[in-house]
Amino acid sequence: MNSYTISTVRLGLREWTAADVRPFVEMNKDRDVMEFFPATLSENETLELVQKYKSYFDEKKFGRYVVEEKSTKKFIGFTGFGKPRFESFFTPCIEIGWRFKREGWGKGYATEAARACLNYGFEMIGLATVYSFTAIINERSENVMKKIGMTKVAEFDHPKIEPTDRLCRHVLYKIERPKIL
């Protein structure tokens, strides 16, 4: 499939298909991939997540895009937009997030996909402000936030994570649509 919504030299970002479910299930069972989440996801949890992503697309016409390596046509993860499902001082908002299979790590894919997705969000969707957040110990994701031009604006305790959990403390980054002079 090559009907990409967003395209870079190496990556294609598109909506979800049935063929993406199996590799997504496997990715969400990988302890390394899910290191900075409270737990790995079961097959049923992943299926529910795919349905949530598809519903968001149906409603908003954008969301979490499958990221595919153009050269291999393989599912390598996702990047895209969502709406946090918790209350905090910065919500409601649109956030950008990503998750990649281990084989996609260290190649700049997260940065490449997130940058292209942000550009699409600002230029095509008309987003004004986008946030991103992760556990304070997730330096890899925080580095992606910096590389795509986001600025750290705060730290906060995630309201859905136990205060004693090592994942509770989060960093919050923000970027605004560039103003054209």
Predicted pLDDT of residue 153: 98
Chain segment 29-39, per-residue pLDDT in tens: 999 999 999 99
Show the domain range for 32: 6-176
**Binning pLDDT at 50, 70 and 90, where does residue 178 land?**
confident
β 11-14/6-7 pair status: antiparallel
Count: domains in the chain:
1
Is 139 inside any structural domain?
Answer: yes
Is 133 inside any structural domain?
Answer: yes
Chain segment 35-65, per-residue pLDDT in tens: 999 999 999 999 999 999 999 999 999 999 9
Is 108 inside any structural domain?
Answer: yes
pTM score: 0.94
Is 1 inside any structural domain?
Answer: no
Is 80 inside any structural domain?
Answer: yes
Q: Hey, which residues does 69 pair with through a beta bridge?
A: 11, 74
**Binning pLDDT at 50, 70 and 90, where does residue 181 land?**
very low
For 8, 15, 47, 97, 178, the CA distances from 18, given in Å and listed in that order, are 23, 10, 10, 21, 36
Chain segment 65-89, per-residue pLDDT in tens: 999 999 999 999 999 999 999 999 9
Instruction: Say which CATH number the domain at 60 has.
Output: 3.40.630.30
Is 181 inside any structural domain?
Answer: no
Those residues with Cβ within 8 angstroms of residue 114's Cβ, 6 or more apart along the chain or in another chain: 79, 96, 98, 144, 148
| Cα–Cα distance for residue pair 143/36, rounded to 1 Å | 14
